[in-house]
Structure 1
Amino acid sequence: MRTLTAAGLPATGRFLSKAGWVSRVWVGDEYVVRLINDQRHRDAYRHEATVINLLAGSEVPHARHLAHGDGPDGPWYVSERLPGRTLHEAWPTADSATRQAMIESLGSALRALHRVPVPADLLPPWLAAALDGTKPWAAFHPPVVGAALQQVEAARRVPGHDARLLADVADWVRERLALFAADAPVLVHGDLHGANLMVDQGRVTGLIDFAEALAQPADVELDIILRWCAKARDIPPTPNEQGLDETTLTEIPGLLRGAYPELFEREHLRERLNFYDMYGELTLYAHHPYADDREAAHDRIVRLLSGHNYLDELVW
């Protein structure tokens, strides 16, 4: 494989091809090779390499970065292979004690991640471009607190938008910005769900895919984790696979709270999580290319304004 040659590694051994949302992946005995298949994320691997460098010397379990670059097949990234399987793969057959151990290990990994020193302005390049209007699109996660009103203005530029609704949303956002005034940004993975966690023998061997990592309040991490628990069938690991049955994930929020209680101890946590959800729905309403998806986001925004969303389905 010429990518391995470009990385200065032996192009030998067996590799299993796997699909992905943003990357094509080849998993070998020692290495994992990824190639970008979504050109909106061309700089994702450069950003990921930067984030992995931040993890050096920390207690965060992660795959060691070996090389990255840009070649005839597009941007590429090579990392070591971690032991085990993804949490998505391991969860259905794991017994209760193993499940508890895995989530306790996840809590320790997240606590370590959120203690890593991080530049306050760290943003993935594709997300920065989406926010500054260079390449606007439905960058609905991870949420960026300071950009929420920007998304209201972007939605107001959409033909046929609901002006009265957006006026209410703007007021709703302004009323809640004070909830985040005292937050210090930490390093947040930004896309942490079952497919981005490697586990083996009841422990997390690595958080993987840091392409969406950024500096935000620590509880931003809960936005995707809790969403995955509530709507796992809508968050499959690849476009061609099925997500897990949400009814098998009901214990995760409580287990994670027990393992990393301070992540759940923010004052007004439910309102903060609602804010992160509103950010995501606004970006979909403002930028999604399909009218049906924009209308669905509109309806979820209406529900959020009344204080209800996917969190109603969780016990945490």
Structure 2
Amino acid sequence: MTRAAAVGDGPPLDPVLLRILEAAGLPATGRFVPKAGWVSTAWVGDAVVVRLNTDERFRDAYRHEARVVDLLAGSEVPHARHLAHGDGPDGPWAVSERLPGRSLYDAWPTAGLRTRRSTIESLGSALRALHRVAAPADLMPPWLTGALSGGPWPAFHPPVVGATLRQVEAARRQPDHDPRLLADVDAWVRERLALFAADPPVLVHGDLHGSNLIVDRGRVTGLIDFAEAVAQPADVELDTILRWCARAREFPPTPDARGLDETTLAEVPGWLHGAYPELFEREHLRERLNFYDMYGELSLAAHHPLPDGRAAARVRVARLLSGHNHLDGLAW
């Protein structure tokens, strides 16, 4: 996806990377390793990480991320300092400091049991600190704000409790929708909205899985990629984490890669529970998690561009109405 290369003894730097470094006021020195992603291209240097947004639907992602990282200043949340961002001839770009370690996705397969456990316990501490950070109640990525207002829908997470009924209505506008199913879903959602009435919104990452955690020697050195951070109930965080544990193969770092083996993540919910028990202590937690899952499936049923994708989402919606989903059999 990129022509990036190293300086010094290696080939010259990618011209795109050179333009970003110049715009950021940074020297074009050191070694940079290219990395692909879902919606961006990255160059990992000795001291900084440079990213280029390659998906027009997320043009404001780095601006939102910079705002969120500013909120983290002075907190105990492990994260990378945001150094610069802007728009250039090649697209939106951002530069942040490089954290020690590598992604949990890369580190997990060869890590021993003790290292895996201490890593997840460190994640629990990081999440507790994150959920204590003061954030505006209306904090939301610009692309998600636009989608909820009727614009293009570029992604299907994170859950937004107050917008769930809007997803029911959006699903009804699809020509292949199931009227009876959506009538049942509408009633199901209305019956459960009261579960969230007293929840204070807190800062949640919104997309935590193996590729968005940097780890080193059994500890989390940084949560990364805050492009989807929102102000929502704290246990929204569990929606992605437990889905990742149950269906890890669906969370590869790039579209052409493969996610982790779910069996290696079986202990993660229990370790996280031990490190951050209050995240799991909400009354009616299973119903709340089912609600978050329903939001995601409704979004797919309403906005997935392919008929087969919408049909598969409707099957999962029907299964949720009967009380079953990916959480079945997961020790959480």
Q: TM-score, normalised by structure 2?
A: 0.94
Letter in 1 for 2:294: M
Is 1:79 the counterpart of 2:96 in the alignment? Answer: yes
Residue pairs, 1:272-311, within 5 angstroms: 272-311=288-327
Residue pairs, 1:36-75, within 5 angstroms: 36-75=53-92
Match of 1:181 in 2: 197
Pick from 169, 185, 188 the counterpart of residue 153 of structure 1. 169
Match of 1:118 in 2: 135
Q: Which runs of 5+ in 1 are unaligned?
A: none
Pick from 43, 53, 61 the counterpart of residue 26 of structure 1. 43
Match of 2:218 in 1: 202
Q: Percent identity?
A: 77
Higher relative contact order (CA 8 A, sep 6+): 1
Pick from 175, 191, 194 the counterpart of residue 207 of structure 2. 191
Letter in 2 for 1:58: S
Match of 1:164 in 2: 180
Give the superposition deviation at 1:134.
Answer: 2.3
* 2:202–2:231 contact (8 Å) kept in structure 1: yes
* 1:138–1:283 contact (8 Å) kept in structure 2: no
- Tell me the number of residue pairs that the alignment of Structure 1 and Structure 2 aligns: 315
Distance (whole Å) between structure 1 residues aligned to residue 250 and residue 84 of structure 2:
33
Match of 1:259 in 2: 275
How far does the alpha carbon of each residue in 1:186-222 deviate from its partner, in whole angstroms, 9 at most, with x for none? 0000000000000001110000000000000000000
Distance (whole Å) between structure 2 residues aligned to residue 37 and residue 222 of structure 1:
28
Distance (whole Å) between structure 2 residues aligned to residue 219 and residue 311 of structure 1:
14
Pick from 226, 229, 242 the counterpart of residue 245 of structure 2. 229
Q: Say which SS state the counterpart of residue 279 (structure 2) adopts.
A: helix
Letter in 2 for 1:15: F
* 1:124–1:211 contact (8 Å) kept in structure 2: yes
Distance (whole Å) between structure 1 residues aligned to residue 109 and residue 130 of structure 2:
26
Distance (whole Å) between structure 2 residues aligned to residue 81 and residue 17 of structure 1:
14
Match of 2:113 in 1: 96
Give the superposition deviation at 1:241.
Answer: 1.3
How far does the alpha carbon of each residue in 1:33-85 deviate from its partner, in whole angstroms, 9 at most, with x for none? 00001110000000000000000000000000000000011000000000001
Give the superposition deviation at 1:166.
Answer: 0.3
Q: TM-score, normalised by structure 1?
A: 0.99
Letter in 2 for 1:181: A
Give the superposition deviation at 1:138.
Answer: 5.5
> Which aligned runs of 4 or more in structure 1 are off by greater than 6 angstroms?
none
* 1:41–1:126 contact (8 Å) kept in structure 2: yes
* 1:23–1:38 contact (8 Å) kept in structure 2: yes
Match of 1:130 in 2: 147
* 2:57–2:154 contact (8 Å) kept in structure 1: no
Match of 1:10 in 2: 27
Give the superposition deviation at 1:139.
Answer: 2.9
Q: Say which SS state the counterpart of residue 310 (structure 1) adopts.
A: coil
* 1:2–1:11 contact (8 Å) kept in structure 2: no
Match of 2:12 in 1: none
Q: Say which SS state the counterpart of residue 14 (structure 1) adopts.
A: coil
